[in-house]
Copies of this chain bind each other. A is one copy, B any other.
Amino acid sequence: MAAQPTRRERERQQHRREILAVALDLFSRKGFEKTAMADIAEQAEFAVGTLYKLFEDKNALYRALILDAVERFTQALTAVLTTPGSELERLARYIETKATLFAQNIPTARLYFAQTTGAGFLPTAGLDQEARAIYEKVLSMLEAVFRSGIRKKLIANIDPKMLVLGLEGLSNAFVFELIERPDDLPAETMADLSKTIFFERIHLKGN
C-alpha cells in the first residue's frame, strides 16, 4: 500500500523511537517533573533542539509514551475479554493477562499506573484525559462481563460497577507489588491470589 518510506523518513522515525525509549526509562525512574529535557537529550545522544524537531514539547513526549502504552495494554486486555468461554473463565484470563503483561513491561507499567490509578488524584497535568478515556473502555467491557455473569447467576448480584472497582483495586495491588519487588513472587502467583481472593471465600465456617 504505502510506498516504501524514504531513508530520511526511516531514520527520522528511528531517532524518534530512540528518544522515546530514553524518555520512558527516565520518566519511569525519576518521574516526569524531575526529568529535564536536557537529561533526555544527553542520554539519547542528541541535542536538546533535536528533541523539539521531533516532538512539540515535553508534554507531547510524555503523551506519546502514555498513549502508546495505554493503547497496547487496552488492546490486549479487551482481546481477552471478548474471548470465548464462560464469564468466570474470561475474568480469570483477564487477570492472568494483566499480570503477565505488566510483569513483562515494568517501566511502561509504571507510567500506565501513574496515569490511570494516580489520575484524578493529583492531576498530573491535563495529560490524563485522553489516556483515561481509553482505559475506561476496558473498564466498561469488564462491567459488561460481570453484568452478563450476574444475569446467568454465575456471579453474586452486586452492582457490576462496584465489582469492577473491586477487581481492579485487588489486582492492581498485586501488580504494584510485582512492579516494586519483581523478584518477590512470579506473575502467576499474583494472578492466582487475585482470583482466589476475589472468587473464593476467604472466610471459613459459613456465616
Contacts and interface: CB of A to CB of B under 8 A. Distances in A.
Interface residues of A, number: 47
A46 interface: no
A200 B197 contact: no
A180 interface: yes
Residue among A113, A117, A163, A166 facing the most chain B CB atoms (10 A cut-off)? A166
11 contacts: A88-B203, A118-B118, A120-B176, A121-B179, A155-B204, A156-B196, A162-B174, A163-B197, A166-B170, A200-B201, A201-B201
B174 A172 contact: no
Contact of A168 (B117, B153, B173, B205): B173
Nearest to A177: B165
A197 B31 contact: no
A69 interface: no
Q: Is the interface of A mostly helix, strand, loop or mixed?
A: helix
Given A166-B197, A173-B170, A174-B169, A154 B121 contact: no
Given A166-B197, A169-B169, A180-B121, A204 B174 contact: no
Contact of A153 (B172, B198, B205): B205
Interface string A170-207: 11111011011000000000000110111111111100
B198 A202 contact: yes
Contacts of A168: 173
Interface of A: 28, 30-31, 33, 88, 110, 113-114, 117-118, 120-124, 153-156, 158, 162-163, 165-166, 168-174, 176-177, 179-180, 193-194, 196-205
Given A154-B203, A155-B204, A166-B197, 5 more contacts: A33-B33, A153-B205, A156-B200, A166-B194, A197-B198
A173 B169 contact: yes
Contacts of A203: 88, 154-156, 199-200
Contacts of A197: 158, 163, 166, 170, 198
